[in-house]
Amino acid sequence: QVQLVESGGGLVQAGGSLRLSCAASGRAFSNYAMGWFRQAPGKGRDFVASISRSGGPTYYADSVKGRFTISRDNAKNTVYLQMNSLKPEDTAVYYCAAGKLAGSNRYYDYDSWGQGTQVTVSS
């Protein structure tokens, strides 16, 4: 498995931007597809975005398409989530995850998870 640590969360006004980072250690980072999920209070863990091992194909939830961008730097063992035009409904704890199935939006396809980083968007 790979160990994951997220950073970059915080409080931002609606319309603002944040960039989340997820640093990986352990087994070869480039062997894993990576995903971002989020969980709002009292709700389940929802898919946000995923990226293939090579950084080529990317996939997004409809709710974030056109506003969020997932990317990765395999040389730095890091995956990013650039979040623009943030809305109050984007408020959640954001988790990065590593798995073997590129493009999956199912949390159970991911084997390793970070501890999460809080994103709060004020109106």
Give the tens place of pLDDT for each residue, 15-26: 999 999 999 997
Question: Closest by alpha carbon to 22, among 115, 84, 85?
Answer: 115
pLDDT above 90 (res 99): yes
* Structural contact between residues 56 and 74, judged by C-beta atoms closer than 8 angstroms: no
Give the tens place of pLDDT for each residue, 40-93: 999 999 999 999 998 889 999 999 999 999 999 999 999 999 999 999 999 999
What's residue 55's pLDDT? 87
